[in-house]
Amino acid sequence: MRKGILRALYQAKGYISGELISKRLGISRVAVWKHIQTLKREGYIIDASPKGYKLISSPDLLLPDEFIGLRQKVYYLKEVSSTMDVAKKLAKRGEEAIVIAETQTSGRGRLGRRWHSQKGGIYFTIILRPRIGPAHAQIINLMAAVSVARAIRSLFNLEAKLKWPNDVLIRGKKVCGILAEMEAEMDVIKFVNLGIGINANNPISLYEEGATSIKEELGRDISRKELLMCVLNEIEKRKSLLGEEIISEWKALSSTINKKVRIIMQDEVVEGEAIDIDTDGALILRTDKGIRRIIAGDCIHLK
Ligand code: BTN
């Protein structure tokens, strides 16, 4: 119901009478008033006058009511261990949802690292059920990275680029990290939980060397809900694209290809020139000992 009230306030672009809202939503004017009070308590500034209600400003919280028109259910948490934990339970129950948190106490990064998740950043996990085999799952990571880079470019005109496999960089510094957790059977994926962390307005801690935020790049706060909505739309657009379309978009945004790189794998470190990625998103390296195909690892750009 609050979603309906917010929608009416947004659409009105001025005053809208309590009576009109109550008619539209089929609730009493007292009920409208009560919902308006709740919105005010959440940080919405709403003017009430004899002409009705007018939305003056809304808080930059990623509240589910703000995300109008999404197919999936949105779960919103002020604080959580990790959105990945919640999404896993939901995915196992068969839900297709988006889990958003304002902060995480145990944010997880790739390769067992920690993901600092202070207020001001964007932290969410989206549950996907792609119809591809687990061997091609890397495409999902690449698709997410392309979506985030495209959203940042279109909203802020910043030159967001990609580092293999799925980091989004601005001026060579990391602005977004992506973590995919998958449950699969032999040849079918049950779900992929795509966890995305974007440094939006959050301060970058001393521990995060080589990181930046959109705020730092622009010198001003940004609207996190606008960015998140844009990222979700970009993901929705690409969800059912073919692997080759994602790969070619990824290559166009890549800052890894043609660079000298060091790849740190579990039991090996390889250096060489990144010359391509293949149809499954594996990195193709030219090394002293010949061509190598790397499926997973930590990639460091060398000068
Ligand atoms: C990386 O190491 O680059 C991946 C970072 C992924 C962070 C996001 S924030 C939302 C989701 N919840 C987590 O605990 N991790 C991912």
Per-residue pLDDT tens over the stretch 26-57 = 999 999 999 999 999 988 999 999 999 999 99
**Prior bond of 50 cis (ω within 30°):** no
Specify the pLDDT at position 242: 74
Pocket probe for ligand 1: among 90, 108, 119, 181, the residue whose CB has the most ligand atoms within 8 Å is 108
pLDDT averaged over every residue in the chain: 93
E strand segments, 188-281: 189-198, 260-264, 269-277
Q: Is residue 179's pLDDT more than 80?
A: yes
Q: Is residue 209's pLDDT more than 80?
A: no
**φ, ψ for residue 96, nearest 5 deg:** -115, 105
Q: Is residue 1's pLDDT more than 80?
A: no
Specify the pLDDT at position 65: 82
From residue 281, alpha-carbon distances to 13, 76, 232 in Å are: 46, 32, 22
Q: Are residues 31 and 19 in contact, defined by beta-carbon separation less than 8 angstroms?
A: no
- pLDDT above 90 covers a percentage of the chain that reads 82
CA distance 283 to 279: 10
- Direct distance between the N- and C-terminal alpha carbons of the chain, in angstroms, rounded to an integer: 55
The whole-number average pLDDT for the span 105-124 is: 94
DSSP 29: H
Residues lining ligand 1, Cβ inside 6 A: 82-84, 104, 107-110, 113, 115, 123-125, 167, 177-179, 195-197
